[in-house]
Amino acid sequence: MTTRTVFGACPHDCPDTCALQITVENERVIKVQGRAEHPSTHGALCTKVSRYAERTYHAERLLHPLKRISGKTEAPRFVRVSWAEAIADIAARLKAVKDPQCIQPYSYAGTMGLIQGEAMAGRLWNALGAARLDRTICASAGGAGLAATYGHKLGMHTRHFAGAKLIIIWGSNSIASNLHFWTYANQAKRDGARLVCIDPRKTETADKCHQHIAVLPGTDGALALGLMHELIKNDWLDRDYIDHHVDGWDELRGKALAWPPERVAEVCGITADEVRGLARDYGTTQPAAIRMNYGLQRVRGGGNAVRLIALLPCLTGAWRHESGGALLSASGWNAPYKSPNLERPDLLAGRQPRMVNMSTIGDALLRADPPIEALIVYNSNPVAVAPESPKVVKGFQREDLFTVVLEHFMTDTADLADYVLPATTQLEHLDVHTSYGHTDVLMNQPAVAPLGEAKTNTQIFRELAAAMGLTHPCLSETDEELAAQAFTPDIDLELLRTQGWQALPIPEAPFANGGFRTPNGRAQAAGADYVPNYESAQAAPELAARYPLAMISPPARNFLNSSFVNVKSLRDIEGEPLIEMHAGDAAARGLADGTLVAAFNDRGRYVARLKVSKRARPGVVNGLGVWWRKLGVQGSNVNEVTHQRLTDMGNAPTFYDCLVEVEAA
Ligand SMILES: Nc1nc2c(c(=O)[nH]1)N[C@H]1C(S)=C(S)[C@@H](COP(=O)(O)OP(=O)(O)OC[C@H]3O[C@@H](n4cnc5c(=O)[nH]c(N)nc54)[C@H](O)[C@@H]3O)O[C@H]1N2
Ligand SMILES: Nc1nc2c(c(=O)[nH]1)N[C@H]1C(S)=C(S)[C@@H](COP(=O)(O)OP(=O)(O)OC[C@H]3O[C@@H](n4cnc5c(=O)[nH]c(N)nc54)[C@H](O)[C@@H]3O)O[C@H]1N2
Ligand code: SF4
Ligand SMILES: [Mo]
């Protein structure tokens, strides 16, 4: 028996980017663990990725190319074909598309790796002049909000949350989605810090905080303005910090003064005392740290909400402390170390192909002019995760659309493909990673050979490029060669190979003396304001009368977006698709716990099991996501009811800005 250990990195869309220790016995992975030596991983993985071997060796793993033999609206039937046949046919089909802009790539963060992500794919699309994809589905509203305020996506060190005396966890179910941050928050709690959670849902994280403030979805901007109102009225401001490091304060001050606690309470669905109490805590405790997550920016005013919250530590001078300030994303810290040329934008040779927003892929497939003729999907499951899925499905069902899906499993999206190509998992390929939670760079070494006939994304794109007659030498570079070009010379690849990660040098208290990454170094407050939800009693009273319940669809703890839904041991923990509802709302509708119900609106119907639960506040239902439609009830998932309208900044989706009614199914 031979046993060896391989160093890896978790590929998932999660701020923690854990360092993995993979045990291989007789060329089979038998264990995936967190590395004890890596400071932020400290030997612990979440439940999901502890099951990564189960996912990789899953009986339903795709192991050879498949070609569709049924119509797009019929039950999907595929036959096995050889790689040679698949590549030749796909290349011919893509070459037959006259305007290359009608070839549409669609990818997101199935893997966050720079190599299996866009390194080779981007080269192929640039060489072809294929349409570009605006990758907005997750974080671009908050990203734009941070950039408008601080000049870049920058924030506190995660580990310094351990030294805070007050931590506000704002729009984040950290225990489920940012476990390694929670370890630091918990350490602060043991050392006497007060923890406050702001979330419409009473999450497992809210359970562990001293206080939970259950705002209505999309009202965080109003709450932030109300806190500012109290900071001003009680003179809890750091005037010196504001004078030296904030632009636009007079304007913001005027807006905040229009938000006394009573007005905030009414808009946010909380009490005026909750606003006053939180303002007192925040105004009188140092160091105070705010952990935002992307949950709060999936609404119409998401960008502005992030702006207003990001300004709070500028008003109290919390940034003066290494354990004070705010964190939404740390990715701006590693951006200077990434090579801008990895995807070879020079291959575009001056062309500017059209850009399609991934968040409105339903409309794009049905309405783009000229139409999308070919769609290549990798690292994503849009039929399950994109908003307003009735339209997404309809778009994918177009008989004149040629769709190729690179996948590990037969997902809802793969079901609608013309070709399904088997891709390798993180245990079978090389990659390099940055993180948006911590600031280390990591390498993932392949632990075992590809399973079956699976190929890396990069290899599939190399073969397609060659079959299409594209001869630029950069289109045949190996994964090792790509990894060597991913970063600036400050990153030591040898260290990544031997140690597995490299920590980047980041200032401990980055904005203690201002120095934001805006042109004049000052945080920018001008223009930030509260924007109500599209679908709210305030903005759409007639709609709210018909559909009185706000629905949010945050991630289920044991899934990662739609990944792992097909891993039985994890699906067994989640049970079945649930809609959580407050007892009062259930009684008003005569609905009993455990009933099969439908959440519906003009767009669609999502069928799930009703859970009457203290986790739901009055007026808000929680449809935990994101199930595969075909593993859900009656082939539906929560995106049946979401819509395609975009956020105020960053062109992002507004998944949590969604009104429904619920009835027995
Ligand atoms: N287990 C698990 N971990 C994950 C993921 C997963 O699917 N499962 N997804 C990963 C991804 S892709 C991302 S982007 C990250 C972050 O992903 P996020 O989507 O930010 O996930 P959460 O941390 O669950 O935070 C969302 C929280 O915001 C709350 N929320 C919803 N609407 C509002 C609102 O209007 N205001 C406020 N204050 N709160 C609101 C929800 O109830 C939920 O508890 O997590 C990653 N980690
Ligand atoms: N209603 C609602 N919808 C949501 C959200 C929500 O909170 N509510 N969250 C949104 C968010 S934050 C995000 S980030 C998106 C996420 O949406 P996606 O990025 O589409 O994420 P996943 O659903 O995890 O799908 C990723 C797919 O990539 C595949 N994959 C993984 N690694 C590889 C690889 O190396 N090669 C190939 N070819 N495939 C691979 C996986 O098998 C998986 O099927 O969903 C969004 N959708
Ligand atoms: S906590 Fe996040 S980074 Fe760590 S193993 Fe789980 S999904 Fe991966
Ligand atoms: Mo995300």
CA-closest candidate to residue 221, choices 583, 640, 657, 661: 657
Exposed e or buried b per residue across 325-351, where buried means at least 16 C-beta atoms within 10 angstroms of its C-beta? bbbbbbbbbbeebbeeebbbeebbeee
What's the gap in Å between 139 CA and the centre of ligand 4?
Answer: 6
Q: Quick check: CB of 18 below 6 Å from ligand 3?
A: yes
Helical pair 272-284 and 302-316, crossing angle rounded to 10 deg: 50
Using a cut of 0.75, tell me whether the model's pTM lies above it: yes
Q: What is the pLDDT of residue 625?
A: 84
What's the gap in Å between 353 CA and the centre of ligand 4?
Answer: 26
- What distances in angstroms separate CA 593 from CA 265, 332, 541, 587, 605, one per listed residue? 30, 45, 29, 10, 19
- The single-letter code of the amino acid at 295 is G
CB of 55 closer than 8 Å to CB of 425:
yes
By alpha-carbon position, which residue is closest to atom 3 of ligand 3? 17
122 phi, psi to nearest 5 deg? -60, -40
CA-closest candidate to residue 564, choices 175, 116, 55, 174: 55
Q: What is the pLDDT of residue 467?
A: 98
Q: What is the pLDDT of residue 434?
A: 98
By alpha-carbon position, which residue is closest to atom 45 of ligand 1? 177
What's the gap in Å between 389 CA and the centre of ligand 2?
Answer: 14
CB of 262 closer than 8 Å to CB of 620:
no
Where are the chain's structural domains? 3-56, 66-130+340-503, 155-328, 541-664
**CATH architecture label of 3-56:** 2-Layer Sandwich (3.30)
For residue 358, with 0-12 CB atoms within 10 Å meaning exposed, 13-18 middle and 19 or more buried, which class applies? Answer: buried
Pairwise CA distance, residues 581 & 591, whole Å: 10
Q: Quick check: CB of 297 below 6 Å from ligand 1?
A: no
Show the DSSP H helices in 203-330 as ranges: 204-208, 220-233, 239-245, 249-256, 261-268, 272-284, 302-316
Q: What is the pLDDT of residue 213?
A: 98
Strand-pair partners of 612: 581
By alpha-carbon position, which residue is closest to atom 8 of ligand 3? 10
Q: What is the pLDDT of residue 569?
A: 84
Q: Which CATH number fits domain 66-130+340-503: 3.40.50.2000, 3.20.20.140, 3.40.50.740, 3.40.50.11810?
A: 3.40.50.740
Q: Quick check: CB of 406 below 6 Å from ligand 2?
A: yes
Strand-pair partners of 376: 105, 404
Pairwise CA distance, residues 577 & 557, whole Å: 13
Pairwise CA distance, residues 295 & 200, whole Å: 10
Q: What is the pLDDT of residue 562?
A: 87
Q: For the domain made up of 541-664, give the CATH fold.
A: Barwin-like endoglucanases (2.40.40)
Strand-pair partners of 4: 24
Strand-pair partners of 578: 609
Ligand nearest to the CA of 446: 2
Q: Quick check: CB of 381 below 6 Å from ligand 2?
A: yes
Residue of 16, 111, 564, 570 to test ligand 3 pocket, by largest number of atoms within 8 Å of CB? 16
3-class DSSP state for residue 371? coil
Q: What is the pLDDT of residue 318?
A: 98
By alpha-carbon position, which residue is closest to atom 6 of ligand 3? 46
What's the gap in Å between 107 CA and the centre of ligand 2?
Answer: 9
Q: What is the pLDDT of residue 574?
A: 86
Helical pair 302-316 and 220-233, crossing angle rounded to 10 deg: 20
Pairwise CA distance, residues 457 & 472, whole Å: 18
Residue of 196, 294, 312, 579 to test ligand 1 pocket, by largest number of atoms within 8 Å of CB? 294
Q: What is the pLDDT of residue 557?
A: 86
Q: Quick check: CB of 19 below 6 Å from ligand 3?
A: no
* Sheet of 28-34, strands arranged across: 3-9, 19-25, 28-34
CB of 210 closer than 8 Å to CB of 194:
yes
Torsion angle, alpha carbons of 633, 635, 637, 643, to 10: -140
Ligand nearest to the CA of 562: 2
What's the gap in Å between 560 CA and the centre of ligand 3?
Answer: 9
Q: For the domain made up of 155-328, give the CATH fold.
A: Dimethylsulfoxide Reductase; domain 2 (3.40.228)
By alpha-carbon position, which residue is closest to atom 4 of ligand 3? 18
By alpha-carbon position, which residue is closest to atom 1 of ligand 3? 46
Q: What is the pLDDT of residue 506?
A: 86
Which residues, in sequence order, are CB contacts of 284 under 8 Å at separation 6+?
236
Q: What is the pLDDT of residue 655?
A: 98
Pairwise CA distance, residues 168 & 433, whole Å: 28
pLDDT in tens, 596-654: 999 999 999 999 999 999 999 999 999 998 999 999 999 999 999 999 999 999 999 99
Q: Quick check: CB of 570 below 6 Å from ligand 3?
A: no
What is the Cα gyration radius of the chain? 24
Q: What is the pLDDT of residue 487?
A: 98
Low-confidence ranges of the chain (pLDDT < 70): none
CA-closest candidate to residue 198, choices 325, 291, 265, 310: 291
The length of the chain in residues reads: 665
Start-to-end CA span in the chain (Å): 55
Pairwise CA distance, residues 148 & 143, whole Å: 9
519 phi, psi to nearest 5 deg? -55, -40
Pairwise CA distance, residues 407 & 420, whole Å: 7
Q: What is the pLDDT of residue 598?
A: 97
Pairwise CA distance, residues 353 & 125, whole Å: 10
Q: Quick check: CB of 200 below 6 Å from ligand 1?
A: yes
Q: What is the pLDDT of residue 422?
A: 98
